[in-house]
Structure formats: C-alpha cells, structure tokens
C-alpha cells in the first residue's frame, strides 16, 4: 500500500465565489442546486505567485458570504482560453443565467474589470475550471 503524500495530508484551500458576501451566497446556492458546475478567473489573478492555478483533481472548500464552510468540490478540468473565446457551453455551466458566450463576456467583463482594476481585452487569458460537488450531495 502506498502512503499518503504531504499534499494529500493538507486541508483543501477554502474560498468563496465573487468579490462580496451577497455574490458569494448567490453563487454558492447555484453550486448546491446543481446549476453551477464551473467557474472562471483571470490568469492574471495568479500573477502574485501566492495562489496556484487550479489543477484537475484538486479539492476546495466553498465558503458562504459569512466565511462559513458549506461545500466541498473537486476540480474535473482546467483550461486556459482567451476571454473572447469563452463559449456558450462554458457560460451555461457557470450557472449564472448566461446562456451565450456574448452574454457571459458582457457580465464577466464588468466583474474582471472591477477585480483587476484594469480593462479586459479579448485576449486576456481566462482559467475555465469545471468541478463536481462532492459534499453535500
């Protein structure tokens, strides 16, 4: 039998969606209902070197807007694509009511501009992460 490595013995990172408590609660509810099975972030958000880019197989603890743990997810795929190329299938998996790539880009351009405090060009690299809800089921 193979033992557990150091990485497997550490607790998963804990984080919340969005940039405010209300958005965190709204998106968490979408995960718990099964409507949200994907999330996106700008690759530029990882430039600080402190936060690693998500990888397939990783676990994450999702927090609600008050910072309480509410769910456990496992990343099933990660793809980096230009902002302008995010398609309707991924937009739908984000579970935010965005049914086309154009609607997704319209809504997320504002969010990324706010978070990054800069303009969002169509060639900005976006981390498109798909996940499965592991707890609660």
1 inside domain: no
19 inside domain: yes
pLDDT digits (tens, 9 = 90+) for 104-115: 899 999 999 999
What is the number of structural domains in the chain? 1
- pLDDT at residue 51, as a whole number: 85
Q: In what order do the strands lie in the sheet with 38-42?
A: 14-15, 59-63, 69-82, 125-135, 38-42
Whole-model pTM over 0.85: yes
CATH number of the domain where residue 44 is located: 3.10.400.10
pLDDT digits (tens, 9 = 90+) for 51-98: 899 999 999 999 999 999 999 999 999 999 999 999 999 999 999 876
Alpha carbon distance 62, 81 (integer Å): 24
Residue 89 structural domain: 11-135
Percent of the chain at pLDDT > 90 equals 77
- pLDDT at residue 76, as a whole number: 98
All residues at 6 or more sequence positions from 50 whose CB lies less than 8 Å from its CB, including other chains: none
- pLDDT at residue 38, as a whole number: 98
């Amino acid at each position: 039998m193979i033992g557990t490595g150091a990485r497997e013995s550490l607790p998963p990172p804990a984080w919340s969606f969005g940039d405010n408590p209300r958005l965190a609660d709204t998106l968490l509810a979408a995960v718990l209902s099964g409507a949200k099975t994907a999330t996106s972030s700008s690759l530029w958000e990882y430039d600080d070197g402190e936060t690693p880019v998500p990888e397939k197989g990783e676990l994450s603890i999702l927090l609600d807007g008050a910072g309480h743990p509410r769910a456990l997810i496992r990343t099933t795929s990660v793809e980096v694509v230009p902002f302008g190329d995010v398609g309707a299938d991924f937009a739908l998996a984000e579970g935010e009511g965005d049914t086309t790539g154009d609607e997704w880009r319209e809504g997320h351009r504002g969010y990324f501009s706010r978070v990054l405090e800069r303009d969002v060009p169509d060639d900005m690299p976006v981390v498109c992460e798909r996940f499965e809800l592991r707890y609660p089921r």
